[in-house]
Amino acid sequence: MRFFIGKMIETHYIQENEWPDTSQPGSLILPNSIIGDVLKHIYIQEWNYDDLKVRCTENTLDMVTVDAILKKKSSYSFSGSQLKFEAPPEFYRMRFDQLFTLSLE
Protein backbone atom coordinates (compact mmCIF):
# COMPACT_ATOMS: atom_id res chain seq x y z
CA MET A 1 0.00 0.00 0.00
CA ARG A 2 2.83 2.45 0.83
CA PHE A 3 4.41 1.91 -2.59
CA PHE A 4 1.01 2.36 -4.27
CA ILE A 5 0.49 5.74 -2.60
CA GLY A 6 4.13 6.75 -3.13
CA LYS A 7 3.80 6.17 -6.88
CA MET A 8 0.76 8.47 -7.02
CA ILE A 9 2.50 11.18 -4.98
CA GLU A 10 5.52 10.96 -7.26
CA THR A 11 3.28 11.10 -10.35
CA HIS A 12 1.71 14.29 -8.98
CA TYR A 13 5.18 15.74 -8.42
CA ILE A 14 6.30 14.86 -11.98
CA GLN A 15 3.13 16.27 -13.59
CA GLU A 16 2.78 19.42 -11.48
CA ASN A 17 6.45 20.06 -10.58
CA GLU A 18 5.42 20.48 -6.93
CA TRP A 19 4.48 18.24 -4.02
CA PRO A 20 0.77 17.75 -3.30
CA ASP A 21 -0.78 20.36 -1.02
CA THR A 22 -1.49 18.60 2.26
CA SER A 23 -2.33 21.76 4.19
CA GLN A 24 -6.04 21.72 3.34
CA PRO A 25 -8.25 19.70 5.67
CA GLY A 26 -10.38 16.99 4.10
CA SER A 27 -9.11 14.81 1.31
CA LEU A 28 -6.10 14.73 -0.96
CA ILE A 29 -6.76 13.83 -4.59
CA LEU A 30 -3.91 12.29 -6.55
CA PRO A 31 -3.64 11.02 -10.14
CA ASN A 32 -3.21 7.40 -11.21
CA SER A 33 0.44 6.44 -11.32
CA ILE A 34 2.30 6.86 -14.63
CA ILE A 35 5.61 5.50 -13.35
CA GLY A 36 7.01 2.01 -13.14
CA ASP A 37 8.34 0.24 -10.09
CA VAL A 38 11.20 2.67 -9.34
CA LEU A 39 10.61 5.78 -7.24
CA LYS A 40 13.06 8.60 -7.96
CA HIS A 41 11.76 11.35 -5.66
CA ILE A 42 10.33 9.42 -2.72
CA TYR A 43 11.99 7.11 -0.23
CA ILE A 44 9.70 4.65 1.59
CA GLN A 45 10.69 3.26 4.97
CA GLU A 46 8.78 1.59 7.79
CA TRP A 47 9.07 3.42 11.13
CA ASN A 48 8.24 3.01 14.77
CA TYR A 49 5.82 5.89 15.47
CA ASP A 50 7.82 7.33 18.39
CA ASP A 51 11.04 7.31 16.33
CA LEU A 52 9.19 8.96 13.45
CA LYS A 53 7.89 11.75 15.70
CA VAL A 54 11.44 12.50 16.86
CA ARG A 55 12.80 12.39 13.29
CA CYS A 56 10.07 14.75 12.03
CA THR A 57 10.57 17.14 14.93
CA GLU A 58 14.37 17.18 14.49
CA ASN A 59 13.98 18.06 10.81
CA THR A 60 10.96 20.39 11.11
CA LEU A 61 8.79 18.06 9.05
CA ASP A 62 5.05 17.50 9.18
CA MET A 63 3.49 14.10 8.60
CA VAL A 64 0.42 13.11 6.61
CA THR A 65 -1.55 10.02 7.58
CA VAL A 66 -3.79 8.08 5.21
CA ASP A 67 -6.98 6.73 6.80
CA ALA A 68 -9.01 5.82 3.71
CA ILE A 69 -8.54 5.54 -0.05
CA LEU A 70 -11.44 5.90 -2.48
CA LYS A 71 -11.09 5.10 -6.20
CA LYS A 72 -12.58 7.76 -8.46
CA LYS A 73 -12.91 7.82 -12.23
CA SER A 74 -9.36 8.97 -13.06
CA SER A 75 -7.84 9.45 -9.61
CA TYR A 76 -7.90 8.37 -5.99
CA SER A 77 -9.15 10.36 -3.03
CA PHE A 78 -7.32 10.05 0.29
CA SER A 79 -8.59 11.11 3.65
CA GLY A 80 -6.41 11.42 6.69
CA SER A 81 -4.71 13.93 8.94
CA GLN A 82 -1.76 16.25 8.87
CA LEU A 83 0.33 16.05 12.02
CA LYS A 84 2.65 18.84 13.15
CA PHE A 85 5.30 17.98 15.70
CA GLU A 86 6.64 20.78 17.84
CA ALA A 87 9.30 21.14 20.50
CA PRO A 88 10.48 24.03 22.70
CA PRO A 89 12.54 26.73 20.91
CA GLU A 90 15.70 25.56 22.74
CA PHE A 91 15.40 22.16 21.04
CA TYR A 92 15.36 23.77 17.58
CA ARG A 93 18.22 26.13 18.43
CA MET A 94 20.40 23.15 19.42
CA ARG A 95 19.30 21.20 16.33
CA PHE A 96 20.07 24.07 13.93
CA ASP A 97 23.46 24.55 15.62
CA GLN A 98 24.11 20.83 15.05
CA LEU A 99 23.09 21.02 11.39
CA PHE A 100 25.18 24.14 10.84
CA THR A 101 28.23 22.43 12.38
CA LEU A 102 27.72 19.39 10.13
CA SER A 103 27.51 21.61 7.04
CA LEU A 104 30.91 23.13 7.84
CA GLU A 105 32.67 19.76 7.91
Share of the chain above pLDDT 70, in %: 94
Is residue 29 pLDDT above 80, yes or no?
Answer: no
Q: In 49-58, which positions are buried (b, 16+ CB within 10 angstroms) versus exposed (e)?
A: eeebeeebbb
Q: Which of 11, 41, 3 is nearest to 29 (CA)?
A: 11
Query: Please, which pLDDT band fits residue 32 given cuts at 50, 70 and 90?
Result: confident
Share of the chain above pLDDT 90, in %: 9
Query: Please, which pLDDT band fits residue 27 given cuts at 50, 70 and 90?
Result: low
Q: 80 vs 13, 34, 50, 65, 74, CA distance in Å? A: 20, 23, 19, 5, 20
Is residue 17 pLDDT above 90, yes or no?
Answer: yes
Which amino acid is present at 27?
S
Highest mean pLDDT among 13-17, 30-34, 66-70: 13-17
User: Residues 73-92: what's their mean pLDDT?
Assistant: 81
Query: Please, which pLDDT band fits residue 102 given cuts at 50, 70 and 90?
Result: confident
